[in-house]
């Protein structure tokens, strides 16, 4: 099986999750595409496609949204996995963020959809981002809330 993992990462958390997924899917041929470096990606030749990004101020990165919109007809016929990284603690809001990140037709067709948690990485934020996080999250330290079991479940379902 040939798997494409397509993602965007603002501060490195999504890239970290992609690394975990790619390593665990090592039985497959895995090709990783960072949308920052690859703007014209075709997933035609892949059996499986995994798409991930992070939520900032309630929205998925524009690069991911643009990729999904451009590749929608191809994606709908693939074995698909969708995930988002984010720091929303409320499970109902996590579902809402996941639902708003990807079109419903892709979410319904996908093998797995997951909110995998996230991180505040202060060392990678600019001044304004730090100030916003301090105000809304009441922290001034780097924090990780990655959901390892959710990531493992995502990988397991994608290997099925």
**Residue 127 lies inside a defined structural domain of this protein:** no
**Residue 31 lies inside a defined structural domain of this protein:** yes
- Token digits of residue 45: 């030749």
Please tell me the predicted confidence (pLDDT) of residue 28.
67
Give the number of domains in the chain: 1
Residue 121 pLDDT > 90: no
Q: How confident is the model at residue 27 (pLDDT cuts 50, 70, 90)?
A: low
Three-state DSSP string of the chain: CEEEEEECCCCCHHHHHHHHHHHHCCCCEEEEEECCCCCCCCCCCCCEEEEEEEEECCEECHHHHHHHHHHHHHHCCCEEEEEEECCCCCHHHHHHHHHHHCCHHHHHHCCEEEECCCEECHHHCCHHHHHHHHHHHCCCCCEECCCHHHHHHHHHHHHC
| Structural domain span for residue 90 | 2-119+145-159
**Residue 115 lies inside a defined structural domain of this protein:** yes
pLDDT digits (tens, 9 = 90+) for 45-75: 999 999 999 998 788 999 999 999 999 999 9
Q: How confident is the model at residue 32 (pLDDT cuts 50, 70, 90)?
A: very high
**Residue 73 lies inside a defined structural domain of this protein:** yes
The pTM of the full predicted model, rounded to 2 decimals, is 0.89
Please tell me the predicted confidence (pLDDT) of residue 160.
76
């Amino acid at each position: 099986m040939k798997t494409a993992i397509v993602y965007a990462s603002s501060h490195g958390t999504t890239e970290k999750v992609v690394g975990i997924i790619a390593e665990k899917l090592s039985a497959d041929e895995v090709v990783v595409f960072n949308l920052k470096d690859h703007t014209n990606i075709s997933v035609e030749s892949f059996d499986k496609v995994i798409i991930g990004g992070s939520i900032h101020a309630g929205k998925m990165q524009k690069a991911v949204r643009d990729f999904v919109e451009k590749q929608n007809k191809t994606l709908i016929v693939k074995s698909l996995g969708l995930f988002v990284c984010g720091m929303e603690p409320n499970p109902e809001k996590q579902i809402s963020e996941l639902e708003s990140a990807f079109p419903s037709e892709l979410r319904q067709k996908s093998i797995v959809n997951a909110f995998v948690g996230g991180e505040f990485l202060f060392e990678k934020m600019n001044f304004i981002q730090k100030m916003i996080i301090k105000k809304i999250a009441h922290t001034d330290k780097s924090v990780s809330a990655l959901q390892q079991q959710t990531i493992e479940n995502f990988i397991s379902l994608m290997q099925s």
